[in-house]
């Protein structure tokens, strides 16, 4: 890790743009067990907000579905899932302490949670909250992995397609405390379109949370690849879009179901500048120089100058792979 940090610092000092910095932190969350209360999880989140602030953080990234265990691994009726795991409002009496801490600490944050709208639609949702504890942006997960049917032979379920509707808000960006920020959720991070749509709106940072089981229920994927493909997705997309990417895991063993850690902050150079060491609650932080991304966006990835969208038509015209074009 030290070596990677040195490379990034070298690339910063070789350039001359004035620094625009953001104290950027990620709050990795260790396991949340099925029987843990929302109150106990919120207390852990607030403790990490204080830790992040003490290190100079101005924005803190929490995981996907941060308030409960990763419940899509369990088969149950939709009504039961909604009653046990979904939020009807944000903030709510239970989550209010997070917003109070945001205001007190003058600390913005990203938070993932299960949202049930007032008209009964279920989404895997995240929000960006500014340093005045105001919600400035909402995103609803678009790339929902897994299945909707019961797979009793599988070691566990991945029922995001059963419990959630596909997000209806698109990949938008939000200006929060002087920074243009985009967000996505977990599986979205593996898709280049996710980042490119936000980079085309001049995103400087993309933040995200994830719950990635160590075991792939669909094929016998070597465990180490779960971490490799996670990191490579963050790094490639940070570089190819000239953006910072900050990713927060929920990890460790939730009632015997293990999920990867490796929360990371990646610079627009594609270099990992901070990475978690544990699979427990852990804050990582950097002083992110936002101007680094400008070099990439002005030169090798100057979109206006070099992109050729007339040759990218298949990306929006086709969903699955098909026959060669004439």
272 in Cβ contact with 266 (< 8 Å): yes
Long-range contacts of 5-8 (CB under 8 A, 24+ apart): 5/271, 5/273, 7/269, 7/271, 8/267, 8/269, 8/271, 8/273
Q: How far apart are CA 239 and CA 233, in angstroms?
A: 10
Choice between 214 and 291, CB closer to ligand CDV: 214
240, burial (CB in 10 Å: exposed 0-12, middle 13-18, buried 19+): middle
Return the residues of window 58-77 that contact ligand CDV according to CB under 6 A: 64
- Mark the segment that binds ligand CDV (CB under 6 A) among 173-181, 209-217, 261-269, 300-308: 209-217
- Mark the segment that binds ligand CDV (CB under 6 A) among 113-121, 182-190, 239-247, 250-258: 182-190
Q: How far apart are CA 115 and CA 126, in angstroms?
A: 9
Question: Shortest gap between Cβ of 72 and ligand CDV (angstroms)?
Answer: 7
Annotated active-site residue 298? The verdict is no
Given 53, 58, 64, 271, the catalytic residue: 64
Helix ranges restricted to H, 14-171 = 38-54, 78-85, 96-105, 160-163
The single-letter DSSP state of residue 166 is P
Neighbours of 188 (CB within 10 A): 26
The structure tokens listed for 143 are: 């790339």
Neighbours of 93 (CB within 10 A): 9
Question: Shortest gap between Cβ of 70 and ligand CDV (angstroms)?
Answer: 7
Question: Shortest gap between Cβ of 285 and ligand CDV (angstroms)?
Answer: 23
Question: Shortest gap between Cβ of 317 and ligand CDV (angstroms)?
Answer: 25
Return the residues of window 1-40 that contact ligand CDV according to CB under 6 A: none
Q: Which of 210, 239, 244, 295 binds ligand CDV (CB under 6 A)?
A: 210
Q: How far apart are CA 27 and CA 316, in angstroms?
A: 35
CA 76 to chain centre: 26
Annotated active-site residue 186? The verdict is yes
Q: Which of 27, 129, 179, 186 binds ligand CDV (CB under 6 A)?
A: 186
- Mark the segment that binds ligand CDV (CB under 6 A) among 36-44, 186-194, 239-247, 296-304: 186-194
Question: Shortest gap between Cβ of 94 and ligand CDV (angstroms)?
Answer: 23
According to the binding rule CB under 6 A, does residue 147 interact with ligand CDV?
Answer: no
Question: Shortest gap between Cβ of 78 and ligand CDV (angstroms)?
Answer: 18
Choice between 58 and 254, CB closer to ligand CDV: 254
Q: How far apart are CA 19 and CA 102, in angstroms?
A: 25
According to the binding rule CB under 6 A, does residue 190 interact with ligand CDV?
Answer: yes
Annotated active-site residue 160? The verdict is no
The residues that are catalytic are 64, 141, 186
Residue numbers at the binding site for ligand CDV (CB under 6 A)? 64, 145-146, 158, 186-187, 190, 210-212
């Amino acid at each position: 890790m030290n070596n990677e940090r040195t490379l990034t610092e070298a690339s910063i000092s070789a350039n001359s743009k004035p620094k625009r910095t953001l104290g950027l932190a990620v709050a990795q969350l260790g396991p949340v067990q099925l029987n843990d209360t929302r109150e106990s999880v919120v207390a852990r989140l607030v403790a990490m907000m204080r830790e992040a602030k003490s290190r100079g953080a101005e924005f803190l990234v929490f995981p996907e579905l941060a308030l409960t265990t990763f419940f899509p691994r369990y088969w149950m009726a939709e009504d039961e899932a909604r009653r046990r795991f979904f939020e009807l409002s944000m903030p709510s009496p239970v989550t209010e302490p997070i917003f109070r801490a945001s205001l007190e600490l003058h600390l913005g944050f990203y938070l993932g949670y299960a949202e049930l709208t007032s008209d009964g639609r279920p989404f895997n949702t995240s929000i960006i909250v500014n340093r005045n504890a105001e919600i400035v942006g909402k995103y609803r997960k678009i790339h929902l992995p897994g299945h909707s049917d019961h797979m009793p032979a599988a070691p566990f379920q991945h029922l995001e397609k059963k419990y959630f509707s596909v997000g209806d808000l698109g990949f938008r960006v939000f200006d929060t405390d002087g920074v243009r920020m985009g967000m996505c959720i977990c599986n979205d991070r593996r898709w280049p379109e996710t980042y490119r749509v936000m980079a085309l709106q001049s995103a400087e940072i993309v933040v995200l949370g994830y719950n990635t089981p160590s075991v792939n229920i669909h094929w016998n994927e070597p465990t180490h690849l779960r971490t490799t493909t996670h990191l490579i997705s963050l790094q490639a997309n940070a570089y190819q879009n000239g953006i910072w990417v900050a990713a927060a895991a929920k990890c460790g063993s939730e009632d015997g179901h293990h999920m990867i850690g490796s929360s990371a902050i990646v610079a627009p150079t594609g270099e990992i500048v901070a990475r978690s060491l544990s699979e427990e609650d852990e804050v990582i932080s950097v002083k992110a120089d936002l101007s680094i991304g400008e070099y990439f966006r002005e030169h090798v990835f100057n979109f206006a100058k070099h992109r050729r969208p007339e040759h990218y038509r298949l990306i929006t015209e086709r969903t699955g792979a098909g026959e060669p074009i004439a």
